[in-house]
Structure 1
Amino acid sequence: MAIYTKGGDKGSTSLFDGKRVRKDSLQVETYGTFDELNANISLADKFCISKRNKQILQQVEYRMFYLQGEIATHDPEKFRAQSNIISDEDVHFLESVIDDYTAKLPKVTSFILPGSSLAGAQLHVCRTVCRRAERLLVAFMADNEVRPELERYVNRLSDFMYIMARSEDHEDYLNKVVSEVVRRYKKAMEGKQ
């Protein structure tokens, strides 16, 4: 079966509920940017050192499908009747991760570079794409109904990406410290022989 339909050959695409819109519409740009974010989150989870962070990011990746689907429909009620949706429980999940990690990580007293590790840098890319997607969502909301839960989730998501980046940078730092201690210990032991 071919993955192409030829339906978009004239510059339009189908929404979730079948309505056709121009590919350059704000609606398509908005859910497309969240799709871009999700691809970046997937890449970030492959770079993560922490198994817990990988699992958390994969949970978020699935939520992104619900978020995109709800934006990618002319009739949000039709989508909500046929799919899972972002809820306040999802918002609270992001907040709990942010609060937990903030309490455990060293305090930040100045601006930080966007990532000292590969995973941290990629998570900062996610943070910035998320902010762009949020700006598009706000513009989209000027003429379209968006549930407050969805808006809250998107607003927490960039903070979540920031704290995940800090977590991965910290994990990377600790691993480097341990590797250096082991290297020095082995060198010292070689000198005693």
Structure 2
Amino acid sequence: MKIYTKTGDDGTTGLVGGSRVKKFDIRLEAYGTVDELNATLGVLRSMSISESDKLLIIEIQNKLFNIGSRLASDEKGETYTANLAITDGNIELLEKAIDEYERDLPELTHFILPGGDPASAQCHVARTVCRRAERRVLEFAGEMPTHVNTVKYLNRLSDLLFVLSRKTAKENGVADTAWKKD
């Protein structure tokens, strides 16, 4: 299969299911931002983090591909991607990881500045991209029943990435930097 098709040269792109939309359609902004999030997680996975965290990130990246596929599906295409929907179990997996990570961290009593070591800083980059992806999905899908769990998943994922930034910094010997009001 060739990577280029030339069918998008007119400013449109094909959806799963066959219809075409303009490349500036909010749907593309939504799944494009999810794709950007996936790429930022790929960078994070290449950094100094534990093997178990790398495995969790791979699982998350696969779920993000599922989300992108669902967002890129028109009405006809939804029949092909229905089995890729985010489940309550997918959300619970993130919640369990958050709870596990938080048990080993000092209580948070102040806002912290993004940064620390490179992996922790990359967690913060991924977290902010995740928040943007959540907003774009909400803008496109709103309260569509087929995407309610997608929004929940992205919301929980941004929380996980915040906690993972703290966990990673601690494991790499870097303390949180408190925000100081001037």
Using structure 1 for the length normalisation, give the TM-score.
Answer: 0.84
Say whether the 8 Å CA contact 2:141–2:147 is kept in structure 1.
no
Deviation digits for residues 63-108 of structure 1 (CA, Å, limit 9, x no counterpart): 1110111111112631334x43211110000000011111111112
Amino acid at match of 2:59: Q
Q: Structure 1: how far apart are the matches of 2:37 and 2:126?
A: 6
Written as runs of structure 1 = structure 2, the 5 A alignment for 1:130-169 is: 130-142=130-142, 146-169=146-169
Cα separation, 2, equivalents of 1:96 and 1:155 = 14
The residue aligned with 1:78 is 79
| Partners of 2:91 and 2:41 in 1: CA distance | 17
Structure-to-structure mapping, 1:26-45, within 5 angstroms: 26-45=26-45
Dislocated runs of 4+, deviation >4 Å: none
For 2:135 and 2:78, the matched residues in 1 are separated by 23
Question: The residue matched to 2:10 in structure 1 has which SS?
Answer: coil
In the alignment, does 2:67 pair up with 1:55? no
Q: Find the structure with the greater CA-based Rg.
A: 1
CA distance in 1, matches of 2:17, 2:65: 15
User: 1:166: how far off?
Assistant: 1.0
Question: What is the identity percentage for the equivalent residue pairs of Structure 1 and Structure 2?
Answer: 39
TM-score, normalised by the number of residues in structure 2: 0.89
Shift of 1:29: 0.5
2:170 is aligned to 170
* 1:23-82 superposed Cα distances (whole Å, 9 cap, x missing partner): 00000010000000000001101113311111111110111110111111112631334x
CA distance in 2 between counterparts of 1:170 and 1:37 reads: 23
Q: Specify the alignment match of 1:181 in structure 2.
A: none
Q: Which residue of 1 aligns with 2:96?
A: 96
1:112 CA displacement: 1.0
- Residue 8 of structure 2: SS of its match in structure 1? coil
CA–CA distance in 2 between the matches of 1:117 and 1:59?
A: 24
Q: Which one has a larger percent helix, Structure 1 or Structure 2?
A: 1
**Deviation for aligned residue 1:154:** 1.3
Pick closer, same or farther for the CA change 1:48–1:63 going to 2, 3 Å: farther
